Amino acid sequence: MRNKLTDELAVCGMNAVLAVGEHHPLSINRLFLREDRLKSFSGICKQLAERKRPYKICDDEELERICKSVHHQGVVAMIEEPAVEPLSVEDLELWANEGKTGVVLHSVGNDHNLGAIARAAAFFDAGFIVVNEKDTEARLTTSAYRIAEGGLEHLTVRRISNTAAFIKDASKLLVTIGTDTRARMRISDIGKIVKTAKKGRRPGIALVMGNEESGLPQEVKDQCSTLLRIPGTGNIDSLNVSQAAALFLHAIFELM
């Protein structure tokens, strides 16, 4: 839930708020929590008091009103509205030089998927997520932060306007792996693809994920270094995009 008057975003959930407090404590403007959560968040409360920022003991009903969700887990932090900066050439070069793994999302559909992918990305040591600014659904919302369980605090999030053009440029510096249910090569081939691209050092890798229903558009697939699929029984057409992302991120993590 966004507060447009104060340019704030509600972050709720134990792990999400603890992660914000650990990694970006100055972004917290106000804290609302149940009395039974006070011990877990005493450090954040102390920091807020030192900065002369308020915290308040609330019941569940008030917490739900504040964050517009029943899934608050007894704590809500109002943080500064997160700004997603446009991706720069310097970002891309840094990810390539440091051999970072990340995810490029093209119309993944909603903020729940974004949060779940961010959680998997942080778990498997990915460093960045790139979103298309035309995707009006997959945004840094209260739900995305809650579902990410603190994962967003470990990631650099950047935005682009044209996915195909970005992948074309990124493929000069990173291994860009597009996901495609009809690809000839499988996820099990990822090892030899990365090995071929190493050239004496760990390559940067961008995993490119598309919409659950339609996948990646052809103009994006055409720009990827390679296309891979996850084989299955065929009983179900495909996996949820966040499930697929987790499998690919795990496969990449195992190689490093």
| CB-based contacts of 23, cutoff 8 Å, min separation 6 | 153, 154
pLDDT of residue 214: 86
pLDDT of residue 7: 82
Residue entry with tokens 């954040």: 44
The topology under which CATH files domain 2-80 is 60s Ribosomal Protein L30; Chain: A; (3.30.1330)
- Dihedral sign from CA coordinates of 135, 171, 221, 230: negative
Question: With 90 as the cut, is the pLDDT of residue 97 above it?
Answer: yes
Question: Where are the domains positioned within the chain?
Answer: 2-80, 85-255
Whether this prediction's pTM lies above 0.85 is answered by yes
Question: With 90 as the cut, is the pLDDT of residue 256 above it?
Answer: no
Long-range contacts of 39-46 (CB under 8 A, 24+ apart): 40/14, 40/75, 41/17, 41/75, 44/17, 44/18, 44/77
The CATH number of the domain covering residues in 85-255: 3.40.1280.10
The whole-angstrom separation of Cα 48 and Cα 52 is 6
Over residues 171-215, the pLDDT tens digits come to 999 999 999 999 999 999 999 998 887 676 788 999 999 988 889
pLDDT of residue 237: 80
Position 4 confidence tier, pLDDT thresholds 50, 70, 90: low
Q: For residue 247, give the H/E element and its range.
A: helix 241-255
pLDDT of residue 6: 66
